[in-house]
Amino acid sequence: MEIVKKEYAKAAKIVPDGYASVNHFFEEVFLDEDMIWMGQNTNELHDEDDIVNAMTRCIEKRQYNKYPPPEGFNELKTLILEDLGLLYRDVEILINAGATESLYLAMNAVLDEGHNVITPDPGYLIIDNFASRFASEIRSIPIYNEECGYKLTPKLVRENMDENTRVILLIDPLNPLGSSYTEAEMKEFAEIAIENDIFLVHDITYRDFADEHFLAVKYAPKNAITMYSFSKSYGLAGLRLGAIIAAPYITNVVKSIIINDVGTNLVAQAGAIEALKTKPHWLDFVKNTTRSNQEIIKAAVDKCEGVFLPVYPSQANMMAIDLSGAGIDPEDMSTYLLSKKIFTRQGSYTSNRFGDNFLRVSFSIAPEKVERFAEEFVKAVEVLRTK
């Protein structure tokens, strides 16, 4: 029998030279304990044992013999809503295996044939891919320029939307650039959504790293769908845990399309509950170290002619480094750094249009490792420079 491969918007899976598959590459990089991890926007800065102990207790009691409640433990749901200041709002929260799952469910819930979706380029391309599975058109708006502040603005949205626009995607702060929104911008997005009766899909995966952050759901409670993740500030990426939060009329639809209806990893939920309870103890350390690590990178970039940071300071735990003025192909840069045991990402991972301009690096890691990167990066620019 013949089955046909599905063709959706290009997903960000690039097989590096010399590897049979993306998985093969990842596994090899992952298993190399000396590799400096700046290629995924994860976080190694948690040094407390509380989260580990909570998960260990859960394992020792063999709680994993049972299925968890399908929509998540109430304690976890309440702590997340409290964290966001949404406890007494008319929203519902469903726990799942991460912002990725939430994004897929959101797109599936609200999109249909004939609809178009407005997304930023650069952005997190798997979201465009998910949207393209359900909508007829993805309007990927170029935002890699100073004029718009390296982000999708209300003005750009108004210029690019029409009567078939159903979703505006706000990644906030934005992967890969680290730009984020002011309250005035968020209010304007909310107005656009309410006026046109459309949805704001608000991916707040990197929220905790921002100086200030404004939730779309507070200004457009019936139009916003919020994606929450434990992968970044919480440092729990490998546990695969997150949530989707929206008005009950939206979560009712989400419930009708859920895949894993027997719940989400309960050991991960035990860890997340503890992470939220202890957040006041660790958040400043994670944030401050991430910020001072950016200064190390900025100092290195400033030594390299033709290289610059489009957004600084980044409001997330990653940033883009523009290499175009030095005539360096970001893929060559990431391959070179990999040979020095530093894992980074070429721009094509987050942009089809602008990927040739920049390298993406994350920096929620020990400052000594960032120093190593800084040293190698400056040398690499001189080795690879063509301008």
Task: Enumerate binding residues for ligand PLP (CB under 6 A).
Answer: 41, 98-100, 124, 171, 175, 203, 205, 229, 231, 237, 242
Closest distance between ligand PLP and the C-beta of residue 26, in Å?
Answer: 13
Closest distance between ligand PLP and the C-beta of residue 385, in Å?
Answer: 30
Query: How far, in Å, CA of 295 to CA of 319, rounded?
Result: 12
Least Cα distance to 271 among 240, 299, 298, 310 occurs for 240
**Residue 238 to residues 98, 274, 296, 326, Cα–Cα distance (Å):** 10, 16, 27, 36
Nearer to ligand PLP by Cβ, of 54 and 204: the residue is: 204
Whether the CB-CB separation of 360 and 40 falls below 8 Å is answered with: no
Nearer to ligand PLP by Cβ, of 201 and 266: the residue is: 201
Nearer to ligand PLP by Cβ, of 43 and 326: the residue is: 43
Closest distance between ligand PLP and the C-beta of residue 228, in Å?
Answer: 8
Closest distance between ligand PLP and the C-beta of residue 152, in Å?
Answer: 13
End-to-end CA distance of the chain: 54
Closest distance between ligand PLP and the C-beta of residue 73, in Å?
Answer: 18
Query: How far, in Å, CA of 347 to CA of 376, rounded?
Result: 19
For 19-72, strand residue ranges (E) read 36-37
Nearer to ligand PLP by Cβ, of 194 and 258: the residue is: 258
Least Cα distance to 327 among 370, 385, 262 occurs for 385
Nearer to ligand PLP by Cβ, of 99 and 275: the residue is: 99
Nearer to ligand PLP by Cβ, of 136 and 352: the residue is: 352
Closest distance between ligand PLP and the C-beta of residue 175, in Å?
Answer: 4
Question: Which residues are CB-neighbours of 113 under 8 A, at least 6 positions away?
Answer: 135, 136
Closest distance between ligand PLP and the C-beta of residue 300, in Å?
Answer: 23
Nearer to ligand PLP by Cβ, of 119 and 229: the residue is: 229
For the chain, strand residue ranges (E) read 36-37, 92-96, 116-121, 137-142, 165-171, 199-203, 224-229, 242-246, 318-322, 342-343, 345-346, 358-362
Structure tokens at 257: 């399309």
